[in-house]
Structure 1
Amino acid sequence: MTVVVLLASLGAGAWGSGVFGKLTQGGYEDPASQSAQADRMVEQHFGRQQGDVMVLYSAPPGGTVDDPAVAGGVTAALRALPRDAVAGVLDYWDGHAAQLVDADHTHALAVLTLAADQPGAQQTQFTRIRDRLAVPGVRADIAGAVPVQQAITERSNADLRTAELVSLPITLALLVVIFGSLVAALLPVAVGGLAILGSLGVLHLLADLVEVNPFAVNVASLLGLGLAIDYGLFSVGRFREELAAGRSPAEAVRRTVATASRTVAFSATLLVVALAGLVVFPLGFLRSVGYGGMSAVAVAAVVSLTLLPALLGLLGRRVDMLAVPWRRRASGSVGEPRGLARLAGVVLRRPALFAVPLVAGLLVLGAPFLGVKFGAVDEKQLPEGNPTRQAVAAVDRSFPASGNGSAEIVLRGAGPAEVRRFAEDARRVPGVRGVAPAGASGDVVLLRATLAGDPLGEDAKDAVRGLRAIPVPPGEQALVGGFSARVVDSVQAIMERLPWMVAVLAGATLVMMFLAFGSVLLPVKAVLMSTLSLCATFGVLVWVFQQGHGAGLLGVTPEPLEPGMIVLIGAIVFGLSTDYETFLLSRMIEARNAGMSSPEAVRHGLLRTGRTISAAALLLIVVVGAFGLSQLATMRFIGLGMIVALALDATVVRMMLVPAVLRLLGDAAWWAPGRLRRLRRRIGAHHGEPEPEPVIEERAPELSGRR
Structure 2
Amino acid sequence: MFEKWGHFSYRHRRLVPLIVIAAILAVYAIFGTQLGNRMSQEGWDDPGSSSTAAAHIEQDVFGRDNSGDVILLFESPDGRSLNDPVTFGAVASHLESLKTEHPDEIAHVTSYFDTRNAQLINEEGTRAFAAIGLRGDGEQTLKDFRAIEDSLVAEDLPVETRVAGATAVADSLDDGMAGDIVRAEVIALPVVAVLLLFVFGSAVAALMPLIVGILSIAGSLGVLSILAGLTQVNVFAQSVVTLLGLGLAIDYGLFMVSRFREELDKGTSVPEAVGTTTATAGKTVVFSAAMVAVALSGLLVFPQAFLKSVAYGAISAVGLAALLSVTVLPALFGMLGHNIDKWTVRRTKRTARRLEDTVWFRVPGWAMKHAKLVTIGVAGLLIALTLPLAGVKFGGINETYLPPSNDVRVAQDDFNDTFPAFRTEPVKLVVTDATEQQLVDVFVQLRDIDGLSSQFTPDHGTVDGTTVLSAGIEDRDLNSSVVDQLRALDVPEGVNVYIGGTPAMEIESIEALMEKLPWMALYIVVATFILMALVFGSLILPAKAIIMTVLGLGATLGILTAMFVGGVGADLFHFTPGPLMSPVLVL
Do they fold alike, i.e. is TM over 0.5?
A: yes
For 1:17, the equivalent position in structure 2 comes to 33
Mapping 1:507-586, distance limit 5 Å? 507-568=526-587
- Confirm whether residue 209 of structure 1 aligns to residue 225 of structure 2: no
Structure 1 residues 336 and 14: alpha-carbon distance in aligned structure 2, compared to 1, 3 A threshold: farther
- Deviations along 1:256-295, whole A, 9 cap, x unmatched? 1111000100101111122222222222222222222222
For residue 170 of structure 1, the aligned residue among 191, 196, 210 is 191
Letter in 1 for 2:244: L
- Confirm whether residue 193 of structure 1 aligns to residue 214 of structure 2: yes
- Confirm whether residue 52 of structure 1 aligns to residue 106 of structure 2: no
Cα distance in 2, alignment partners of residues 488 and 196 from structure 1: 34
Structure 1 residues 60 and 45: alpha-carbon distance in aligned structure 2, compared to 1, 3 A threshold: farther
Q: Does the residue aligned with 1:134 lie in a helix, a strand or coil?
A: coil
Letter in 2 for 1:265: V
For 2:504, the equivalent position in structure 1 comes to 485
Work out whether residues 268 and 301 of structure 1, in 8 Å CA contact, stay in contact via their aligned partners in 2.
yes
Mapping 1:419-458, distance limit 5 Å? 419-432=439-452, 434-438=454-458, 439-442=460-463, 443-452=465-474, 454-455=475-476, 457=477
Work out whether residues 46 and 441 of structure 1, in 8 Å CA contact, stay in contact via their aligned partners in 2.
no
Cα distance in 1, alignment partners of residues 232 and 408 from structure 2: 24
For 2:3, the equivalent position in structure 1 comes to none
Work out whether residues 545 and 558 of structure 1, in 8 Å CA contact, stay in contact via their aligned partners in 2.
yes
For residue 352 of structure 1, the aligned residue among 342, 363, 372 is 372
Work out whether residues 44 and 304 of structure 2, in 8 Å CA contact, stay in contact via their aligned partners in 1.
yes
For 2:47, the equivalent position in structure 1 comes to 31
Cα distance in 2, alignment partners of residues 400 and 209 from structure 1: 41
Displacement after TM superposition at 1:243 (Å): 1.2
Letter in 1 for 2:468: L
- Deviations along 1:655-691, whole A, 9 cap, x unmatched? xxxxxxxxxxxxxxxxxxxxxxxxxxxxxxxxxxxxx
- Deviations along 1:300-357, whole A, 9 cap, x unmatched? 1111110001001111111111112x41413797623532333333322332222223
Q: Does the residue aligned with 1:304 lie in a helix, a strand or coil?
A: helix
Cα distance in 2, alignment partners of residues 364 and 94 from structure 1: 59
Structure 1 window deviating more from structure 2 (354-363 vs 71-80): it is 71-80
Q: Does the residue aligned with 2:455 lie in a helix, a strand or coil?
A: strand
- Confirm whether residue 469 of structure 1 aligns to residue 461 of structure 2: no
Cα distance in 2, alignment partners of residues 332 and 223 from structure 1: 36
Work out whether residues 74 and 160 of structure 2, in 8 Å CA contact, stay in contact via their aligned partners in 1.
yes
Cα distance in 2, alignment partners of residues 310 and 103 from structure 1: 74
Structure 1 residues 98 and 39: alpha-carbon distance in aligned structure 2, compared to 1, 3 A threshold: farther
Displacement after TM superposition at 1:8 (Å): 1.2
For residue 96 of structure 1, the aligned residue among 104, 113, 116 is 116
Structure 1 window deviating more from structure 2 (276-285 vs 509-518): it is 276-285
Mapping 1:270-349, distance limit 5 Å? 270-324=291-345, 326-330=346-350, 335-349=355-369
For residue 494 of structure 1, the aligned residue among 513, 519, 527 is 513
Q: Does the residue aligned with 1:65 lie in a helix, a strand or coil?
A: coil
Q: Over the residues paired in the alignment, what is the CA RMSD in angstroms?
A: 2.0
Aligned residues: 563
Unaligned runs of 5+ in 1: 569-707
Letter in 2 for 1:54: I
Displacement after TM superposition at 1:49 (Å): 5.3
For residue 133 of structure 1, the aligned residue among 152, 167, 171 is 152
- Deviations along 1:75-106, whole A, 9 cap, x unmatched? 33333332111122222223323332222222
- Confirm whether residue 234 of structure 1 aligns to residue 251 of structure 2: no
For 1:584, the equivalent position in structure 2 comes to none
Work out whether residues 245 and 333 of structure 1, in 8 Å CA contact, stay in contact via their aligned partners in 2.
no
Mapping 1:669-684, distance limit 5 Å? none
Identity across matched positions, percent: 39
Structure 1 residues 433 and 215: alpha-carbon distance in aligned structure 2, compared to 1, 3 A threshold: closer
Letter in 2 for 1:350: H
Structure 1 residues 342 and 334: alpha-carbon distance in aligned structure 2, compared to 1, 3 A threshold: closer
- Confirm whether residue 41 of structure 1 aligns to residue 57 of structure 2: yes
Q: Does the residue aligned with 2:162 lie in a helix, a strand or coil?
A: strand
Work out whether residues 427 and 434 of structure 1, in 8 Å CA contact, stay in contact via their aligned partners in 2.
no
Cα distance in 2, alignment partners of residues 463 and 546 from structure 1: 22
Structure 1 residues 344 and 363: alpha-carbon distance in aligned structure 2, compared to 1, 3 A threshold: same
- Deviations along 1:484-525, whole A, 9 cap, x unmatched? 212211111111221232133112201111111111222122
Unaligned runs of 5+ in 2: 1-15
Cα distance in 2, alignment partners of residues 333 and 229 from structure 1: 27
Letter in 2 for 1:188: P
For 1:630, the equivalent position in structure 2 comes to none
- Confirm whether residue 382 of structure 1 aligns to residue 402 of structure 2: yes
Cα distance in 1, alignment partners of residues 271 and 183 from structure 2: 40
Displacement after TM superposition at 1:10 (Å): 1.8
Letter in 2 for 1:187: M
Work out whether residues 58 and 107 of structure 1, in 8 Å CA contact, stay in contact via their aligned partners in 2.
yes
Q: Does the residue aligned with 1:322 lie in a helix, a strand or coil?
A: coil
Q: Does the residue aligned with 1:87 lie in a helix, a strand or coil?
A: strand
Q: Does the residue aligned with 2:390 lie in a helix, a strand or coil?
A: helix
Relative to the length of structure 2, the TM-score reads 0.91
Work out whether residues 422 and 472 of structure 2, in 8 Å CA contact, stay in contact via their aligned partners in 1.
no
For 2:138, the equivalent position in structure 1 comes to 118
For residue 415 of structure 2, the aligned residue among 379, 392, 395 is 395
Cα distance in 1, alignment partners of residues 24 and 468 from structure 2: 53
Structure 1 residues 165 and 293: alpha-carbon distance in aligned structure 2, compared to 1, 3 A threshold: same
- Confirm whether residue 5 of structure 1 aligns to residue 27 of structure 2: no
For 1:677, the equivalent position in structure 2 comes to none
- Deviations along 1:579-626, whole A, 9 cap, x unmatched? xxxxxxxxxxxxxxxxxxxxxxxxxxxxxxxxxxxxxxxxxxxxxxxx
Q: Does the residue aligned with 1:435 lie in a helix, a strand or coil?
A: coil
Displacement after TM superposition at 1:405 (Å): 6.2
Displacement after TM superposition at 1:201 (Å): 0.7
Displacement after TM superposition at 1:563 (Å): 0.9
Structure 1 residues 234 and 331: alpha-carbon distance in aligned structure 2, compared to 1, 3 A threshold: farther
For 1:640, the equivalent position in structure 2 comes to none
Cα distance in 2, alignment partners of residues 46 and 94 from structure 1: 23
For 2:83, the equivalent position in structure 1 comes to 66
Displacement after TM superposition at 1:44 (Å): 3.2
Work out whether residues 90 and 112 of structure 1, in 8 Å CA contact, stay in contact via their aligned partners in 2.
yes
Q: Does the residue aligned with 1:466 lie in a helix, a strand or coil?
A: helix
Work out whether residues 464 and 480 of structure 1, in 8 Å CA contact, stay in contact via their aligned partners in 2.
yes
Displacement after TM superposition at 1:152 (Å): 1.5
For residue 269 of structure 1, the aligned residue among 257, 268, 290 is 290
For 1:85, the equivalent position in structure 2 comes to 105
For residue 125 of structure 2, the aligned residue among 101, 105, 125 is 105
Displacement after TM superposition at 1:543 (Å): 0.7
